[in-house]
Amino acid sequence: MKFNTKTIHGGQKPEEATGAVMPPIFQTSTFAQSSPGKHKGYGYARGANPTRTALENSFAAIENGTNGFAFASGMAAIDCVLRLLKPGDEVIAGDDLYGGTYRMFTQLFQKYGLEFSYVDMNSVENVTNAITQKTKLIWIETPTNPLMKIADIQAISSAVKNINTAILIAVDNTFATPYLQKPLDLGADIVMHSATKYLGGHSDVIMGALIVKEEKLAKEIHFIQFAAGAIAGPMDSFLVLRGIKTLHIRMQRHCENGKLVAEFLENHPKVGTVYFPGLENHLGHKIAKKQMKDFGGMVSFKLKGESKEATFKFLENTKLFTLAESLGGIESLVNHPVTMSHASIPEQERLKIGITDSLVRLSVGIEDIEDLLADLEQALSL
């Protein structure tokens, strides 16, 4: 199946008992057994639930994996990946990370003996030069949150595996979605999503996802998911599965609108730097063009003069771009990383990579582009 068909039919079949086209919401915690240990594939819902199974099959299909896993949140999914490691192991991550990921690395797992180093993944050599005998995981975000940096997944995966095939490559594919890039096809071992975002697509659910190809790794992840228990519930699974069925048509409009918003901002007299991989002057444009189908709907920018007051005035006066956490929904959102999504990163670390008070992150929705541009223009003109 081609991708657009996979979003609707991938891993899916009519429900066996009734023939329901959409999987029912199996709102149950346990399942009857005909004899001790004998059941129809489902014993206790922490281990598996038919609605969650349908979603996990869809995850696997759209990422070209063999096994998908649905978690209670994106952070629960990342937590599961880190539980594959043991004290003394090292993780190499990009220097521009979602604030929640950085918080989990530094304030949780560092206490439990994991070691973390951060490099600019614009360069493959920065990654390979950081590898030591302790390195067990490479954590990649691309495009990054919020500076839209691009990492070459295939080049990094190949170079790392040439050094040590046992090192795992994990990619946070939240910004791109499998509509735009498929990390498993580029050499990654694990794909992670905050399914809260584009996969759900309607800002009405919190969920995380992991997808893998290798069976041994899948068994390890399933054990951690079952043992730790941070699973997605059946209602949330139903909502995200419904969201995936329109992912391809939503992403087309997100990409169209994102490009036009980035070009508008690039030519606006009050705007300084624009961070969008679809712009030819973006440092990672060529890599993004190679590994992504299009460039997505996430755009970040800074106002000229780097004034915090002017930035807050803009943020407080948009009408269609709602000032809120999160991203990837059908509606347009505006975010201030320093005080919102990346507030947990120490100021000196934020400033080191360019996350300043004047940085604004837009999640460009699927509204009429003329209305979105008019909203940005009126907020910038105040």
Which positions are catalytic? 46, 98, 172, 197
From residue 337, alpha-carbon distances to 101, 117, 142, 343 in Å are 14, 22, 17, 7
Q: Which residues are CB-contacts of 118 (< 8 A; sequence separation ≥ 6)? A: 92, 93, 94, 95, 97
Provide the residue count of the chain: 382
Of 66, 145, 201, 63, residue with least CA distance to 350? 145
At residue 338, what is the residue type?
V
Q: Is residue 35 within a helix (H) or strand (E), and if so which, with residue range? A: none
Per DSSP, the three-state class of 207 is coil
Distance CA 115, CA 108 (A): 11
Distance CA 354, CA 360 (A): 12
At residue 97, what is the residue type?
L
Of 57, 50, 13, 52, residue with least CA distance to 31? 50
The pair of structure tokens assigned to 224 is 């951690």
Cβ proximity of 70 and 55 under 8 Å: yes
At residue 380, what is the residue type?
L
What is the edge-to-edge ordering of all strands in the sheet holding 359-363?
271-275, 298-303, 359-363, 333-335, 322-323
Distance CA 311, CA 380 (A): 9
